[in-house]
Structure formats: structure tokens, C-alpha cells
Amino acid sequence: MSTHVTESTMTNTPAPTTETPSSPVGKIVLALILGAGIAAFFYFDLGQYLSLDALKANRDNLLAYTEANFGAAVAIFILVYIVQTAFSLPGGALMTLAGGFLFGSLLGTLFVNIGATTGATLAFLVARYLLRDWVEQKFGNRLEPIQAGFAKNAFSYLMTLRLIPAFPFFLVNLVSGLTRVNLGTYVVATSIGIIPGSFVFAFAGRQLGTINSLGEIASPPVLLAFSLLGLLALLPIAYRKFSGRKTA
């Protein structure tokens, strides 16, 4: 794909549509499903299985199953990652670590990318379906400048949000759904933006036995590097604004 096509795809603002109001029954059903899923996660204490101690305690069994049933292990891993991300549940970093341990740095990063991008897209669509109409009706006038700026520079903004660890992954998914960002732009920016962080955790997963906490992976130098990458993604926006003022 040429650079011209990519840039035009990322910067074009989607044309206004005349969509019919969403069914309130559909929204209620979807909200109940989400609530039930989140409640079940905490009620059955499923988070205990998404901990570093649980992963290390079961490493031999998980590795043996993966070696004997590689295809099934990949499918289960991606499916669990999709569900975890779509429901905005905790455990994303641990899942990425497990991906690196089970499948290696490169394949682990690939499978994480598929699961995380798919789950993030579902969370984005759910937030847009459930909440965007209400948010625009209630705060439309005050949000219009923000909406316009985000839609115009969506790719750079999203890349920055994905690269800088200070912005929680699940929160970016949900907030993005409330904007007018193009779905294709959101998917591409998410898929590309999570690669560096995914690779770092997947690579660390290969040394699972020597890791005592996730904080050892997300060290200050690593966080600083991600932040600098995120700021670099804003350079095109700064350049356009500076050039516009200079030629005005």
C-alpha cells in the first residue's frame, strides 16, 4: 500500500451518517451481558488464574499442553485474550507474558496482537453503541471542538495513547468509542501501537522463572522509552500546526 493511500485513509474524517436510533432493548440486553460477565469474573474469583504466581505454578502443565496441542492452545489463548479485553477485565499484561512463554517472542507477539486488537475493537464498538449517542446529546456542544480535532488527527492521537503506558489500555478502548474516529483508523492504530509493549512482555515471558513481579518488566527506562515513542507519534500534528501558522 502506498504512503499516499495510507495517509489519506488515516486523516479523512468520516462523512456524517443518518443512522436510525439504536434499539433501547438491544442496549439493555448488551449491558446485561457485559454486567453478568464482569460480575461472574469477580464472583468466581477468576482473577486468581491471571496472576504471575498461578502462571509460574502451572508453567510445566501449560507448556506440555501447548507442545502436544499447538493449534488448540493458540485458539484458546487468542479467544481468552479477546474475552478478557472485550470485557475490560484485568490480566492483559499477564496474558501477554504467558503468550511469550508458550509461543516465543515473535509468535507470542503476533497472537497477542490478534487477540488484543480484536477484543479492543469489540470494546470500542460496544462503547460506541451503548454510550456515544447519550454523550453527544448531553455534551455535544462542549465536545464538538474535541471531536473535530480527534477525528482530524485520530491516527497520531491513538498511536500516542497506545504507546504511552500512562493511559490504561481498556480506558482508551472505551473512550475512543465515544469519539467519531473511523473504525478502520482505530483498528490499524491499535494493532501497530501495541506491538512494542507486547513484544517487551512476550520477550520477558521467555524468562518466566526469573521474574518475580510485572514491575520488573515495566521498569522506568522501558516506560520512558514507550513515552518517547508516543510523543513521536504527535510530531505530524505539531508539524502541521507549525506550518499552518508560519504560512498564515
CB 152 within 8 A of CB 13: yes
151-172 pLDDT, tens digit per residue, is 778 888 898 888 877 788 999 9
Grid coordinates given for 66? 501447548
Task: Confirm if 134 and 177 have CB atoms less than 8 A apart.
Answer: no
Written as one string, the DSSP assignment of 149-177 is: HHHHTHHHHHHHHHH-TTS-HHHHHHHHH
User: What's the per-residue H, E or C state across 90-116?
Assistant: CCHHHHHHHHHHHHCHHHHHHHHHHHH
Is residue 139 pLDDT above 70, yes or no?
Answer: no
Helix intervals (H) in the chain? 3-11, 24-43, 52-57, 59-68, 70-86, 92-103, 105-127, 133-152, 154-163, 169-177, 183-193, 195-205, 220-232, 235-247
pLDDT of residue 247 exceeding 60, the answer is no
Return the pLDDT at 19: 45
33 has a pLDDT exceeding 90: yes
The predicted model scores a pTM of 0.76
pLDDT computed for residue 206 by the predictor = 81
For the chain, what is the largest distance between any 2 Cα atoms, rounded to a whole number of angstroms? 65
pLDDT at residue 55 is higher than 60: yes
Range in 42-51, 79-88, 105-114, 202-211 the model is least confident about: 202-211
pLDDT at 2 over 70: no
What pLDDT sits at residue 220? 62
d(CA 31, CA 34): 5
